[in-house]
Amino acid sequence: MQAKRKLPIGIQTFRELREDHCYYVDKTAYIRRLVQEGKHYFLSRPRRFGKSLLIDTLKELFEGNEPLFKGLDIYEGWDWSVRHPVVRLSFGGGNFKEPGYLQANLMAQLDAIGRRAQVTSEYATAPGRFAHLLEALHEQTGQRVAVLIDEYDKPILDALDAPKVARANRDFLRGVYAVIKDSDAHVKFTLLTGVSKFSKVSLFSGLNNLRDLTLSPRYSALCGYTDADLDAVFAPELPGLDRQEIRHWYNGYNWLGEEKVYNPFDILLLFAERRFGAYWFETGTPTFLLDTLVARRVGSLALDGMLGSDALLSAFDVDHIATEALLFQTGYLTIQNEEDRGGRMYYRLGYPNREVRQSLNESLLNRLADNPSHGTEFGARLYDLLLTNDFAGLETLFKAFFAGIPYQWHTKNNIADYEGYYASVFYSCFAALGLDITVEDSSSHGRVDMAVVFNASVYLFEFKVVESAPEGAGLAQLQARGYADKYRGSGRPVHLIAVEFSKETRNVAALEVEPA
């Protein structure tokens, strides 16, 4: 039986991980292929996906630290007699909102690398010093340099709420990254990693020879764990945990590969704590994302099923951030399937798993409630009422919740139309509980607005605005179109629920329920 090992929670150093006998999912087969196939690469993945560990693994490999790789895929085929100098830069820490800080930070990193290699430079600019360092290291060692840049985009992302600074940081980095192409004769290998995928025009105009691995099916599992990885590497940790629940909670990220992947941080914390939780989501508050969704009047109903193209998913810059790109690149949505339309590929986006779907909708609800404690209390009460099928209490609860939404949310942030706005709030209420929800569930009779399966029952919702529909229209539609027919064979009780909203009162006007 395989023995338990140390869980590498928070460990981003390959040497520490290997020397402390931690669990390690071997990614070196991908690395060998990268080195054999090309030279300059870029990879975008959400936070906490193992990008920093990948960068550090490459550093140890190019520096020829052979003992660390014994037993790994790449060990037998690598020439350990050759050692390459490495220039590793990271923008993981610091206050990049402060004007001029980025320049000082980079100069300090280049100076530190130069001191360790005994390379001095009198260049006053970071690009000049960077170029000189690459040339000097090549001449000094006789081997070309591996350039590894971690969190290449953080100086821009951190300053998005200060656009002037963000633009200055972007323009500065454009000049720095252009050095890599200009110094190609001195460079062995390049990898830049980050969360976002800034357009080549805005940031990489001087480094337009990068191969983008973000949506390369062959490298989709370069970061993250697959189902097979969990079974093979983490087998000692699985007993006592429901394997299907692990998939439901955490699996689902897709970058066009054959297998979906898990976020490593979630899996390691699950094995440590032995209970399911929103571990990845809680490591970063998506304040900027929520601000953007609210400002653009994007409702929660619109998130699951968004359509994006290659160009749209790459449309990320200081002055233009496509909603789809923001959600996809930050990991709150992932690719569900590809759709070929006239030779052009489109991608249908959706929540990757329960953790993200539940947590993001909970955050949206708390934002609407303008008081996180109110949103939490509401969720607990909603769950209890559903357990007992207390529909009168359900109507009272929703009326109280909508009455507590500040007036300005209705006047400024209504989503496209009143029905869509109210339906989005309703959806978020149920999604925040982690319930099994289908939006616009199709049958031979048409599409019901929302179907919820919970408590051995099925709840079919139809939403209407009373000022634009006859009284009782929602319940009549549910009855006339036979939406319940597809659920009758399940043996579960089916409840038809028509929710009527009023633009005038900005609240639920009526909640009518009938058994199917």
Over residues 362-389, mean pLDDT: 84
pLDDT at 415 (0 to 100): 44
Structure tokens at 74: 């790449």
426 located within any domain: yes
pLDDT at 441 (0 to 100): 64
CA dihedral of 133, 134, 139, 141, whole degrees rounded to 10: 100
> Which CATH number does the domain housing residue 504 bear?
3.40.1350
The pLDDT tens digits for 52-100 are 999 999 999 999 999 999 999 999 999 999 999 999 999 999 999 999 9
pLDDT at 405 (0 to 100): 79
| More confident of the two residues 148 and 318 | 148
Alpha-carbon distance of 77 to 92, in angstroms, equals 32
258 located within any domain: no
- Determine the structural domain holding residue 419 and report its residue range: 357-515
> Which CATH number does the domain housing residue 55 bear?
3.40.50
316 located within any domain: no
Highest mean pLDDT among 270-284, 309-323, 336-350: 270-284
Give the Cβ contact number of residue 292 at 10 Å: 16
Last residue of a domain, one of 198, 219, 240: 219
In 3D space, the residue among 32, 34, 4, 5 whose CA is nearest the CA of residue 19 turns out to be 5
Whether the per-residue pLDDT at 459 is higher than 90: the answer is yes
Whether the per-residue pLDDT at 416 is higher than 50: the answer is no
Give the Cβ contact number of residue 448 at 10 Å: 23
The pLDDT mean for the chain works out to 90
The pLDDT tens digits for 137-151 are 999 999 999 999 999
- 3-class state of residue 79 by DSSP: coil
Whether the per-residue pLDDT at 354 is higher than 60: the answer is yes
Percent of the chain residues topping a pLDDT of 70: 94
pLDDT at 305 (0 to 100): 87
pLDDT at 186 (0 to 100): 98
Pairing of strands 187-194, 320-321: unpaired
- Mean pLDDT is lowest, of 167-176, 232-241, 302-311, 477-486, for 477-486
pLDDT at 446 (0 to 100): 56
284 located within any domain: no
Whether the per-residue pLDDT at 208 is higher than 90: the answer is no
Q: How many domains does the chain have?
A: 2
Highest mean pLDDT among 114-123, 241-250, 310-319, 458-467: 241-250
The pLDDT tens digits for 14-26 are 999 999 999 999 9
95 located within any domain: yes
| More confident of the two residues 122 and 446 | 122
From residue 506, give the alpha-carbon distance in Å to each of 46, 191, 398, 399, 400.
37, 52, 12, 10, 11
pLDDT at 376 (0 to 100): 77
Question: What are residue 84's phi and psi, to 5 degrees?
Answer: -105, 140
Question: Sign of the CA dihedral 126, 132, 137, 143?
Answer: positive
Last residue of a domain, one of 219, 252, 275: 219
pLDDT band at 370 (very low <50, low <70, confident <90, very high): low
pLDDT band at 414 (very low <50, low <70, confident <90, very high): very low
145 located within any domain: yes
- Mean pLDDT is lowest, of 17-21, 438-442, 482-486, 495-499, for 438-442
Over residues 414-429, mean pLDDT: 75
pLDDT at 359 (0 to 100): 95
Percent of the chain residues topping a pLDDT of 90: 67
Distance of CA 20 to the CA centre of its chain: 30
Residue 353 DSSP label:
S
- Mean pLDDT is lowest, of 207-216, 292-301, 402-411, 480-489, for 402-411
Over residues 464-480, mean pLDDT: 76
Over residues 275-304, mean pLDDT: 88
244 located within any domain: no
301 located within any domain: no
Last residue of a domain, one of 219, 243, 269: 219
Q: Is residue 87 left, alpha or beta, with left meaning phi > 0 and alpha meaning psi from -120 to 50? A: beta
Rg (CA), the chain: 26
| More confident of the two residues 405 and 505 | 505
Whether the per-residue pLDDT at 464 is higher than 80: the answer is yes
